[in-house]
Chains A and B, each alone.
Chain A
Amino acid sequence: EPEVTQTPSHQVTQMGQEVILRCVPISNHLYFYWYRQILGQKVEFLVSFYNNEISEKSEIFDDQFSVERPDGSNFTLKIRSTKLEDSAMYFCASSVTGYSNQPQHFGDGTRLSIL
């Protein structure tokens, strides 16, 4: 069964550094998403992406964050000037359409640790 793949599975970064998290969505999916889950807390929506541009974003997704689809398969989340509170599990997801009747399929996540 097709799946969303995320790399790396674990990223350790010094505070203040930039980090890029990578995702390969399911091949026939058109909508892509990033979510964040701080340890022990609920999953929070960051951003959705369609047709090479941001579709929706939450208040968490400020100027520190950016997303890009650099080629036909990868979807990336860049976090600049990382802070301790950016430590979390980051999930990429994709769906066929943007409608509410389509499930979003998640990758296994990247655990980001900021030191």
Chain B
Amino acid sequence: AQKITQTQPGMFVQEKEAVTLDCTYDTSDQSYGLFWYKQPSSGEMIFLIYQGSYDEQNATEGRYSLNFQKARKSANLVISASQLGDSAMYFCAMRVDSGGGADGLTFGKGTHLIIQP
């Protein structure tokens, strides 16, 4: 079974600062993917960034980057130059290649990020 741990229930960050949201994972599978989703107060789930277990480079998508440290089993999300619109819940999730069916995502409990002007 997989497990995602997000140790920061909430964070306050000043606008324009960079922010790092922590995520550690646990799995015995070798092939897996790590994902970050954003959930604004309106409730929708927005896919942000993906990192594969065999990827050697850290993933980047615009202001989002993923600091992947495989030996430590961590996949932290870094948001550069934070904006007021970044205020939301952020979920780390993972999915393994079980070799059979399409496994669902395993989510962490999330981090509530608040950007302050």
Q: Are A42 and B101 in contact (CB under 8 A)?
A: no
Report B22 CB to chain A, min CB distance, Å: 15
Q: Is the beta-carbon distance between A46 and B35 smaller than 8 angstroms?
A: no
A43 at the interface (CB under 8 A from B): yes
**With A44-B107, A45-B106 as given contacts, are A103 and B101 in contact (CB-CB < 8 Å)?**
no
- Let me know if A101 and B107 touch, CB within 8 A: no
Task: List which B87-117 residues lie within 8 A (CB) of chain A.
Answer: 91, 93-98, 100-110
Question: How distant is the Cα of A45 from the Cα of B101 in the complex, in angstroms?
Answer: 14
The number of chain B residues with a CB under 8 A from chain A is 32
Q: A46-82: contact bitstring with B at CB < 8 Å (1 yes, 0 no)? A: 1110100001101000000000000000000000000
Across-interface contacts of A106 in B (CB, < 8 A)? 37, 44-47
> Once the chains bind, are B45 and A91 in contact (CB under 8 Å)?
yes
- Contact across chains for B104 and A42 when beta carbons are under 8 A apart: no
B101 engages A50 (CB within 8 Å): yes
27 A-B residue contacts at CB 8 Å?
Answer: A31-B102, A41-B109, A42-B108, A42-B110, A43-B105, A44-B107, A45-B105, A46-B104, A48-B104, A50-B101, A55-B100, A55-B102, A56-B98, A56-B101, A56-B102, A58-B104, A98-B101, A99-B97, A100-B31, A100-B32, A100-B94, A100-B96, A100-B97, A100-B103, A101-B52, A103-B47, A106-B45
Tell me, in angstroms, the Cα distance from A104 to B45 when the chains sit together: 10
- CB neighbours of A99 from chain B (8 A): 33, 97
Cα distance, A88 to B32, chains bound together (Å): 28
- Report the Cα distance A55→B98, complex, angstroms: 12
> Interface residues of A, CB < 8 Å — how many?
32
How close is B38's CB to chain A, nearest CB, in angstroms? 11
* Contact yes or no, A105 B104, CB < 8 A: no
- A89 in the interface, Cβ–Cβ < 8 Å? yes
Contacting pair B47 A105 (CB below 8 A): yes
Is the CB–CB distance between B104 and A101 below 8 Å?
no
Residue A45 contacts which of B37, B43, B104 (CB distance < 8 angstroms)?
A: B104
Q: Which residues of A (32-46) have their CB < 8 Å from a CB of B?
A: 33, 35, 41-46
Q: B25 at the A/B interface (Cβ < 8 Å)? A: no
